[in-house]
Structure 1
């Protein structure tokens, strides 16, 4: 009661001390701090701001324990003295010799009481020096994985209610382990509790603050953690980089929620999960996963205009069955509910494909259909003949727009589309790594590739041309071009770029084929020729074993079935 009344009726102690010091001409100020890391951003930033408002030329120094030195160096223009014997939570004293050098010594700052005015108004900004950007390299974290940073404990001496139950953490790690491309990196100071999951890299107690923030900045798709010092330092870091910060709260009247201001990092997305009944056990693992891997603005396109002729199957290739399910069903199992899927058919298989999906009640998904165009074949004299065929996957851009689906996707909030081929049984239309990399790199097109090997001679390969990436089909290679990576057939495009390509004319590639006992020239457009028009194209490697299982002919079936059984 007295504390509440004193806040209302007595002068602000900080302002009173500062004004008194200013009247005497003092400017050297020492503050002691032996509490938490998070308070540097949440309270001490505002105290420093207030000091400079009242004493503009103030020389501000903090005396603190050694493990807070890096944090205080992120306050602009502040000096730090290390007290080597201080331990958190224990009484401390300032050497009289040190105190004598300052005009004002504040031994027990109280941000909670002294700078309450700043909540909802002041955005703390923690200084980031570019020299720290390279610190993550020491840990050799592969960019082929999606990294999720985790702090399993708030690591405070009070408030165990701040911590998510260990059973929830274990469930989260077990479920992330099933995503072969996802790894977890543990942050913090203590080394317990232990976890045995193979997808975990435990860096607790092994990084400095700057090393940890460098890893978060350059590798982490997201952070999952309770109200803690690490959450505050990451949230208020004055640097621009994409990050999903999933914070867990039993009581929202604390930390960054109580501060109630946006992060200075405009690319940071804060996803607070507040427990019912002040019990963090009520926050589910599903809720965390939904925040880590949001798919609200992503749509999928499936290229399925071909027939199953080479599989000895009379009908759309997507209806070919393996292990009791059609290729369409295998693909639709990977689609999240509520996200739009557009399937490109051709006049050869459109009616049968649509009828199949109607029979299956569209698998409960939001599915749309559009047809690619047909073009005339040419005879050996390069003259058109009556026979026609699909004009290649490069027609997807114009056909998609012609069907009005670009407008449909935009109205559904889609800004990124993934494109997959029906023949790749392991295609992942909503692969978090593909989506994360596309957004992080700000690429018009993000290409998924696999390591090239001798068996890939009939596949397209990735080539570097200046600072751009291009894909060459096997028919266009001259045998001398060096390549390391093969094209897996999966690309993520921004929807604006995808729509722009509907207005562009892609080159036609002619290949001689035998159709119905007659040799003809067939012209096709390739989807990856769109890269020529892109400002930024990027690629990344994924494991062949989990991302690429093409069913091109009957000779592929046995090996694909074996791999399906191995993956369970």
Structure 2
């Protein structure tokens, strides 16, 4: 049940506007039509939270300059997010707060050049009740397509399934986000080489090995652009927990055939919370939920069944613009 404080805050935001509403209103009279965001939280929130804010800025203040200061890991994701400039603060660790004036000095920027500055955005609050106004979309960079052939020159007759076996962000949340390693291993074992299935493992860092002659482990061996290129150009299907990888793939605004099986503990998070279909008309989404909101209760048999159903299905149906996910 919401606290009295959160109820009062929600009422105030709806009655009088959020801090973002007020900043946007002031920007229309500012001498500099420019916005600076400092963002050092999750990758998935670049699409889920910031892209809708950027889109609203573009809609209400045409010609605005949007710049972001962030950590190195998020530079490439922001390049797909319709921003004008991305600045990487050296050595920045996730969630670290900074003195923005000092950060600008380090980067050779003049903080005074920006008419509106968000040093610690609160997009979940600012988007409450308005998430369907500007559904997230991420532009694809066609120059990234070449990475797939270089990194994964597999025969075309193989069925490539991508597996993001660990969200790598579980430590930032108060619940279990990851399907157990033993469950992944059991799933891989249920698809023999004779079925032409080839598994590709994704992740930022190397992890414990998985056994299987039909597994290519790319964990720790791809950057963000390479990972997305492989998923876009090689994968027939992607299986992933609620993660930045899942979110960024889901909101790519480019048509390519892909079935996505997502694995969940909390169905009130991520792309399910956003509630909009992918802008990719050839993407089909199959969310699976662990009983009692625990991904560890999701059986291997249930995931296997979803994989086989997806592989045996016909032509993908175009998605609508914005609807609640099942």
Question: Which TM bucket (shorter chain)?
Answer: 0.7 to 0.9
Residue aligning to 1:522: none
Normalised to the residue count of structure 2, the TM-score between the two structures is 0.86
Separation (CA, whole Å) in 2 of partners of 1:120 and 1:17:
21
Q: Kindly tell me: are residues 118 and 78 of structure 1, through their superposed partners in 2, closer, same or farther at Cα, counting changes over 3 Å? A: farther
Q: Kindly tell me: are residues 238 and 96 of structure 1, through their superposed partners in 2, closer, same or farther at Cα, counting changes over 3 Å? A: closer
On the 8 A contact 1:151/1:224 being kept in 2, the answer is yes
1:23 and 2:29 correspond:
yes
1:13 and 2:27 correspond:
no
Residue aligning to 1:141: 154
What 5-or-longer segments of structure 1 have no aligned partner?
296-431, 441-568
Residue aligning to 2:239: 224
On the 8 A contact 2:193/2:213 being kept in 1, the answer is no
Residue aligning to 1:122: 134
Q: Kindly tell me: are residues 23 and 3 of structure 1, through their superposed partners in 2, closer, same or farther at Cα, counting changes over 3 Å? A: farther
Residue aligning to 1:151: 164
Separation (CA, whole Å) in 1 of partners of 2:246 and 2:9:
31
How far residue 198 of structure 1 moved from its aligned partner, in angstroms, is 2.1
Higher-RCO chain (CA-CA 8 Å, sequence separation at least 6): 2
Q: CA RMSD in A?
A: 2.0
Question: Which has more radius of gyration?
Answer: 1
Deviations 1:115-172 (A, max 9, x none): 2233244321110122222220111233231111011111112235111122211111
Please show how residues 464-475 of structure 1 align to structure 2 within 5 Å.
none
Please show how residues 305-316 of structure 1 align to structure 2 within 5 Å.
none
What 5-or-longer segments of structure 2 have no aligned partner?
317-326
Please show how residues 532-547 of structure 1 align to structure 2 within 5 Å.
none
Separation (CA, whole Å) in 2 of partners of 1:59 and 1:15:
18
On the 8 A contact 1:122/1:261 being kept in 2, the answer is no
Separation (CA, whole Å) in 2 of partners of 1:74 and 1:248:
25
Deviations 1:42-73 (A, max 9, x none): 01011101222332221000111111111001
On the 8 A contact 1:40/1:71 being kept in 2, the answer is yes
Separation (CA, whole Å) in 2 of partners of 1:221 and 1:266:
15
Separation (CA, whole Å) in 2 of partners of 1:4 and 1:80:
36
How far residue 179 of structure 1 moved from its aligned partner, in angstroms, is 4.5
User: For this pair of structures, how many residues does the alignment match?
Assistant: 301
Q: Kindly tell me: are residues 196 and 93 of structure 1, through their superposed partners in 2, closer, same or farther at Cα, counting changes over 3 Å? A: farther
Please show how residues 129-528 of structure 1 align to structure 2 within 5 Å.
129-139=141-151, 140-156=153-169, 157-159=171-173, 160-177=175-192, 179-294=194-309
Q: Runs ≥4 in structure 1, deviation > 3 angstroms? A: 177-180
Secondary structure of 1:225's aligned partner: strand
Normalised to the residue count of structure 1, the TM-score between the two structures is 0.51
Separation (CA, whole Å) in 1 of partners of 2:63 and 2:309:
47
